[in-house]
Structure 1
Amino acid sequence: MPRRSLNPVSLVLPSLLSMCYLKKLGLSDCNLQTIPNDIGNLSSITNLNLSENHFSCLPESLVQLSKLSEINLRNCTRLRSLPKLPSVTFFITADGCMSLEEFPDRLKSHLFAHIHLFFFNCFKLASRSDMFFNVLGMLLTVHEEICKQSIFGRFAAYDVVIPGSEIPQWFSHQSVGNIVNAQVPSDSSNKCFGIAVCAVFSCRNVHLSNMALFLRCHILINKHENSEFHVGICPRSVQIKSRHLWMSYIPSQLFSEDGRAVLSQTDEDGFIQIEVRFQWDFNGLEVKKWGFRLVYEEDIREIKMKRRRDKYEGAGASGEGSSNDVPLSKRIQR
């Protein structure tokens, strides 16, 4: 006997809508073809699992879930776009959403939490000409929110994982392998807000695991161990089919007080010595290339100007929003 109803959502939700204190809802692998608009009435939901279903869109009412911090859409292969999500949503898992074409917008870091976006095997999304512009736009949003509040921790403030095999040229210091040393010119008139990092990684002989896998990022500034940050990678439900990019923004507020002080120190030639190294907690994952860029006040201004311009012209319409020198998925290896 099949265990699924032909229309299970019609049976499940009426009994849930009166549960105003429900915090977690798991509807994974329920053969759902649609998600009704009434789901927006579940005002206490913090964690929503809709993975392994067959809907192509989500209701706009999701934005009403004012406490929704995490949403899991893994392997919803027909999903084409994401609606506007609540400003408190900081963890989006959309691995295996191969029809997804729209990048989430207007997400904000909320207190003590950061934004993590996982798009393993989302090839259509990665192929968008304006993909990297959207990534930079999210970096700007995160930066603006961090400026409003004190956020500390060992997790980077913003992470996105998406298919790709080339480091965007915007990352000014690049290398093959998992470690590099770079001399960065100091500019006392241009305030440093943080560091953006990017790694190309591949997987071999990945075995299924119930434990999250972590990519650790160690930053040494002027030979001082500054900070260690990490992002959780959990591919147990998705077979990773190609090389992927991990991009992250680590604002200076997340550095230790000593680390921020060291960041302003230079050697006798006026350079800051920076070493960034990546390390996996798991032997089946390998960093192929990496890059980083110190993010200065001028970079933030340029992103703001580009976002404002493309708001009227359409991102990528003139080639500026698409950032022609940043072929995120030019050579995606399937």
Structure 2
Amino acid sequence: MPSSIRIEIDANWYKNGKWIGFAMAVCLHANSSACDNFKYIVRCCSKVAKRCRIMHSIGRIKSRSSDHLWLFFLHRDSIQSEWLHETRGNLEFSFSAYNGNAEDESYCGPCGLRLVHDNDIEELNQLSKNNFTETDTHQEDLHSPPSNRVDNMINPTVGKGVLPGHDPSSLTKLDLSSRNLTDEPFPEDFGCLVSLEDLNLSSNPFNVLPPSIKNLSKLKYLNLEYCTSLKCLGPEVPSSVETILVNYCTSLNSFLDPSNPCHLRCSAFCVDCSELVKRQDSTMTALTSLKRYLQEPPDGSLRFDIVLPGSKIPEWFSHLDGGGSIRTKLFPNWCTSEWMGFAAFVLFPAKPSSYDLLCHIQAFGYDFEATPKHFKNMGSSDDHHLWLFYLSRDYFPKEWLQHRAGIVKFSFSYQPHNFLCGARLVYKKDIKNLH
């Protein structure tokens, strides 16, 4: 049994306006040469609703000689609202380690969980006050209130440089949204952020990204939403990027071009990028991007998503339905070593809505959620959009894969319900026909 923890919650737990998210921690045992092949995952299952979803994951840990503490926070806004509505009673959070097809239970140890509320932040500030020393912080920070010191660490300021008085090479997350950044005055040390993994440049008026961004070799998440002057994305984007958000980049006309070579293997969210699909076919862009991903998936990646304006049915899918759900038969020999995962798509109107776009996958008594994390209540028009996604076989627990025959059902929840969707199993031989 993987490392796990259970909590009891009532039906209205998420309606507390002071609840801001989950904090979790687990001890990861990194004590052999095999450990850096593992993907560490936390999955949450609701025993009442009989639903499971992957909450968070991290990739490889290179150290081979010591234990590590994985501590992370999931903000309530990053959790789909319908999942919150249906989640009650007994919740089980389990931590697992996967190395492709096998699970090793010995790599996850003791774990903990806490529902975090607004008033808990001051407790964290008190901890920081008790633990900061002159060797830990700059002298000027010691004279500021502890709450300011915590806020400054979370939201670094930007001037001529990215972090005045700090070492930019150690920074892993940076928010530069809405800073009126144009093409020229990017911070001088921007290219020195060699440890950066998460970069938010949304709502800035630049036309192109600075060339120095290609030096960010560890960058995984790039947010460019509402950069309405941005015209193109290409070789300057590091190949390490796993997710790019360009929602509402209304001037973007070149990105993931299917007719040209591309080094990116990332998920992409392109809501309302109408200029982009005027120049390049949205269905071809989606299928070609999926093909690139399947040919060389990023280490530890479990899924691929792409969202684009479009209303054309991808011909690669043979199982189609117009009622918002589709069933695919699984024959006795479906789960071979050649099977890679499932692919599905849905065409939907990206109009403003109080509903989130959800996908539930049901088979063998299990119910999985495959909801995209990076868009909700989206869109500014009734224009149809294509959401195409792929889930690796490692997305599902090994017990699920032991079943040899049955039916898998993909159900999409959105308003209205009369939209077209499709699904298929993906085998290695299918990659060459992706076009």
Scaled to the shorter chain, the TM-score interval is: 0.5 to 0.7
Q: Which residue of 1 aligns with 2:264?
A: 107
Q: Secondary structure at the match of 2:229?
A: coil
Could you state the TM-score of these two structures normalised by the residue count of structure 2?
0.53
Q: Which residue of 1 aligns with 2:409?
A: 275
Q: Which residue of 1 aligns with 2:194?
A: 43
Matched, 1:92 2:241: no
Q: Which residue of 2 aligns with 1:290?
A: 421
Aligned residue type for 2:371: H
Q: Which residue of 2 aligns with 1:201?
A: 348
1:143-184 deviation digits (Å, cap 9, x = unpaired): 3445x85556xxxx0001111223222211111121123447
Q: Secondary structure at the match of 2:314?
A: coil
Q: Secondary structure at the match of 2:169?
A: coil
Matched, 1:72 2:223: yes
Distance 1:203 1:17 in 2: 42
1:121-144 deviation digits (Å, cap 9, x = unpaired): 001222344543443333234334
Distance 1:191 1:91 in 2: 26
Q: Which residue of 1 aligns with 2:175?
A: 26
Distance 1:130 1:56 in 2: 23
Aligned residue type for 2:264: L
Distance 1:242 1:130 in 2: 15
Higher Cα Rg: structure 1 or 2?
A: 2
Q: Secondary structure at the match of 1:217?
A: strand
Q: Which of 187, 197, 215 is 2:358 aligned to?
A: 215
Distance 1:244 1:17 in 2: 43
Q: Aligned residue pairs: how many?
A: 270
Root-mean-square deviation over aligned CA pairs: 3.5
Q: Which residue of 1 aligns with 2:205?
A: 54
Cα distance change, pair 230–31 in 1 and its aligned pair in 2 (3 A):
same
Distance 1:32 1:239 in 2: 25
1:229-288 deviation digits (Å, cap 9, x = unpaired): 2212434686355221111011223223233333x53xxxxxx644221235xxx57562
Note if contact 1:17-1:42 (Cα within 8 Å) is conserved in structure 2. no
Q: Which residue of 2 aligns with 1:310?
A: none
| 1:125-140 mapped onto 2 (5 Å cutoff) | 125-140=276-291
Structure 1 unaligned blocks of 5 or more: 1-8, 109-114, 266-271, 304-322, 324-334
Q: Secondary structure at the match of 2:400?
A: helix
Cα distance change, pair 63–53 in 1 and its aligned pair in 2 (3 A):
same
Aligned residue type for 2:174: L
1:6-57 deviation digits (Å, cap 9, x = unpaired): xxx8745584895332333222222222154852222232222211121111
Q: How far did 1:119 drift?
A: 0.5
Q: Which residue of 1 aligns with 2:293?
A: 142
Note if contact 1:278-1:287 (Cα within 8 Å) is conserved in structure 2. no
Distance 1:184 1:240 in 2: 38
| 1:121-270 mapped onto 2 (5 Å cutoff) | 121-146=272-297, 157-183=303-329, 191-203=338-350, 206=353, 213=356, 215-220=358-363, 224-225=365-366, 227-235=368-376, 239-262=380-403, 264-265=404-405
Aligned residue type for 1:31: N
Cα distance change, pair 83–205 in 1 and its aligned pair in 2 (3 A):
closer
Note if contact 1:199-1:287 (Cα within 8 Å) is conserved in structure 2. no
Aligned residue type for 1:179: S
Q: Secondary structure at the match of 1:181?
A: strand
Structure with bigger strand share is 2
Runs of 4+ aligned residues of structure 1 deviating over 6 Å after TM superposition are 184-190
Structure 2 unaligned blocks of 5 or more: 1-157, 257-261
Q: Which residue of 1 aligns with 2:432?
A: 301
